[in-house]
Structure 1
Amino acid sequence: MNTSTDLPDIPLPPGIRSRYVDNINGLRMHVLEAGFETRGRPCLLLLHGFPELAFSWRKVMPALAEAGYHVIAPDQRGYGRTTGWDANYDGDLNSFRLLNLVRDALGLVSAFGYASVDAVVGHDFGSSVAAWCALVRPDVFRSVALMSAPFAGPPALPFDTADAPAKPAPEDPVHRELAALPRPRKHYQWYYSTREANRDMHHAPQGVHDFLRAYYHHKSADWKANAPYPLKSWSASELAKLPTYYVMDLAKDMAATVAEEMPDTVAIAANRWLPERELAFYSAEYERTGFQGGLQWYRCGTSGAFVAELQTWSGRTIDVPSCFISGRQDWGTYQRPGVFEAMQSRACTQMIGCHLVDGAGHWVQQEQPAEVSHLLLQFLKQRADCDIR
């Protein structure tokens, strides 16, 4: 892997700098930073998802810094210019489990000299990390903004089983049923857990740049068929209603799936939220690193290997102020039936805002950065009011 001195500059807006922080839970962490000019500011931590980078926060960081915050956005473990992680498919998954990602976030906050941050903000898979940060260390992460991926709470422990016959954990039939549909399908998270997934995307026939262009387009509001609604159940017949970037055709890999929705040259030229110059940075980084680091996060989830550890917090809720922000055209809000509703009714006890932003699909902070910045600052003011009361 290249050293930092070999890497090209990042096309950042004024007021954001790139730097490295050593010895963060075994990582040399690459961080984007805004609002660093003066000391003593309250801190915000921004956590990206897949397949993104700290760079995905470039459009909201200046507004948050201008409002008086010190804003920190790392390339998370497995991504970008952060090093110290193992990209080997056969390596130990343990370092990519959710609680170690929380430890990464905690270490970074501490390295910058903060005992707490005003908010941790997470998008996509970063939303899961942010949720667990707030659940496990509410003293440090004093509020949480979840974006594009709602949180249902920790997994439940088996209950009232002392005098009942032991029952083996039931196999989830949904994957077998998806494969048996008249149009055979498979779920993307289980595909992402296969050995082939990284190779399929890293060596996509269309190249990494065009793969990412099609992938980002397909999940954005620019793809006009994104008109999400709640699904009734976690069943093959319901999941089959999801777009192919979530529930794929059984015989196709992700590169072939999104290639069918590649925008034409006119649409690419007209794209203002992800122009070619900015996409070129993403594609260069993923050409260099591959995708396996991010895919390891999915494998931690689908393997079930770390559920017992997370059950330590069974029954606990997120009790710090919270909000949810997603694109109105984002299927991510509904991809797990019932979770959006459970987040609001049970998992978060102080949810003071739940917003679906029109004109945004999955990449909400890139597609509609002004509205997302406004909603985040509104939330931060509301959470401060909660502290006063």
Structure 2
Amino acid sequence: MTSIFNPTDFPKPTLVPVNGVELEVFEAGRENAGKPIVLCHGWPEHAFSWRHQMPALAAAGYHVIAPNQRGYGNSSRPAEVTDYDIEHLSGDLVALLDHYGYEDAAFVGHDWGAFVVWGLALLHPNRVNKVINLSLPYQERGEKPWIESMEDALGGDFYFVHFNRRPGVADAVFEENTFQFLRNMYRKNGPPAEPQPGMALIDLARAETPLGEPVMSDSELAVFVSAFASSGFTGTINWYRNLDRNWRLLADVNPVIQQPTLMIYGDRDAVSRSENLTEFVPNVEVVGLDCGHWIQQEKPEDTNQVISKWLKQQDAT
């Protein structure tokens, strides 16, 4: 069953100046000042993807801070591609803590948000007291830049590679088909598909018939569609266009994350589990939920229970 959420129940945002940009920030549990938890969305998402978690975390005593990260929603969308590298994205989160007067916080990331939270914990370890990441495990740096490695292994049509090698092409297709793309993207329990030639996400944006079941109601989907119709996709895809730059920026950083960490996988997610997670994240607990990629939206109650239980255990130690 799809959990229905009335979009009018979502908190009203404020625009917060940070790190040379403005972020559109949604909050819950302000009365719990002093116990911050920051929720970092993925792609192509929005802070609204945390709608089921925000009230639960506020009820558990947290000051919940959910920004639309740069490029998304009504947050700033700088023109330079390099303004979306891991230094800028993690710098935004550090400046957000400074804005609220917090030394450190628990950080929760899904998908690309998880990549940013991993990077934040590497670049600014003293600002992160706990890590909770969904879907995307820690990415080992390896000997070759990430996009180069993907191009060698998966070819030029793989979407990460395509975004980098053919800038602007996918952006335009997504913008022409914003509703269709997001409707087709936010699905679960789809039939197994044979790999097809061509760029899969461009084909998805052009597909008239969605596969599987919707992850959310029409009114919830409308929040995402409206946000991307206004912002476009280029700023958000620029995150992908910095992967090799990020690989270089992380060259001299200690690669081991020491913070207590919770890693939540979707058992039916296309994103692979890490085979050597404890090598880089020694203090990790791993949980799998019976769902696909959109973990916290597909299984909101289960996600809330896992996160709340883990946080309670951490707070007790």
1:34 CA drift (Å): 0.8
In structure 1, runs of 5+ residues without a counterpart are 1-9, 158-168, 180-184, 227-242, 335-339
Q: How many residues align?
A: 310
Going from structure 1 to structure 2, the CA distance change for 1:287 and 1:258 (only over 3 Å counts) comes to closer
Alignment partner, residue 136 of structure 1 = 123
1 CA distance for matches of 2:182 and 2:314? 36
1 CA distance for matches of 2:207 and 2:174? 15
1:31 CA drift (Å): 0.9
Structure label with greater radius of gyration: 1
Structure 1 counterpart SS, 2:137: coil
Q: Which has the higher helix share?
A: 2
1:380 matches 2:289: no
Structure 1 counterpart SS, 2:282: coil
1:342 CA drift (Å): 1.9
Going from structure 1 to structure 2, the CA distance change for 1:262 and 1:255 (only over 3 Å counts) comes to farther
Structure 2 counterpart SS, 1:114: coil
Going from structure 1 to structure 2, the CA distance change for 1:139 and 1:223 (only over 3 Å counts) comes to same
1 CA distance for matches of 2:107 and 2:134? 11
Greater mean alpha carbon deviation, residues 56-65 or residues 22-31? 22-31
Q: 1:201 aligns with which of 171, 174, 185?
A: 174
Q: 2:74 aligns with which of 81, 85, 105?
A: 81
Q: How does 1:1-389 map to 2 (within 5 A)?
A: 12=7, 14=9, 16-36=10-30, 38-83=31-76, 85-86=77-78, 88=79, 92-117=80-105, 119-154=106-141, 172=148, 175=151, 186-193=157-164, 194-195=166-167, 196-204=169-177, 208-217=178-187, 220=188, 222-225=189-192, 249-250=197-198, 252=199, 254-257=201-204, 259-260=206-207, 262-263=209-210, 271=214, 273-301=215-243, 304-313=244-253, 315-334=254-273, 340-343=274-277, 345-351=278-284, 353-358=285-290, 360-385=291-316, 388=317
| 2:269 partner letter | D
Structure 2 counterpart SS, 1:323: strand
Going from structure 1 to structure 2, the CA distance change for 1:67 and 1:39 (only over 3 Å counts) comes to closer
Going from structure 1 to structure 2, the CA distance change for 1:22 and 1:186 (only over 3 Å counts) comes to same
Greater mean alpha carbon deviation, residues 364-373 or residues 193-202? 193-202
Going from structure 1 to structure 2, the CA distance change for 1:177 and 1:322 (only over 3 Å counts) comes to closer
Structure 2 counterpart SS, 1:139: helix
Tell me the alpha carbon deviations over residues 339-365 of structure 1, each in whole angstroms, 9 at most, x when there is no partner: x1122x3110111x211101x211000
C-alpha contact (below 8 Å) 2:85/2:239 kept by paired residues: yes
2 CA distance for matches of 1:332 and 1:253? 15
1:210 CA drift (Å): 1.8
C-alpha contact (below 8 Å) 1:42/1:69 kept by paired residues: yes
Tell me the alpha carbon deviations over residues 311-353 of structure 1, each in whole angstroms, 9 at most, x when there is no partner: 121x43000100111211101134xxxxx1122x3110111x2
2 CA distance for matches of 1:106 and 1:93? 21
Tell me the alpha carbon deviations over residues 49-95 of structure 1, each in whole angstroms, 9 at most, x when there is no partner: 10000010001111111111110100001111112x32x4xxx3221
Structure 1 counterpart SS, 2:271: helix
Identity of aligned residues (%): 28
1:384 CA drift (Å): 2.0
RMSD: 2.6
1:191 CA drift (Å): 1.7
| 2:173 partner letter | D
1:274 CA drift (Å): 0.6
Greater mean alpha carbon deviation, residues 187-196 or residues 104-113? 187-196
Going from structure 1 to structure 2, the CA distance change for 1:104 and 1:111 (only over 3 Å counts) comes to same
2 CA distance for matches of 1:178 and 1:28? 36
1:294 CA drift (Å): 0.9
2 CA distance for matches of 1:329 and 1:261? 24
User: How does the TM-score come out when normalised to structure 2?
Assistant: 0.89
| 1:102 partner letter | S
1:19 CA drift (Å): 2.2
In structure 2, runs of 5+ residues without a counterpart are none
1:249 CA drift (Å): 2.2
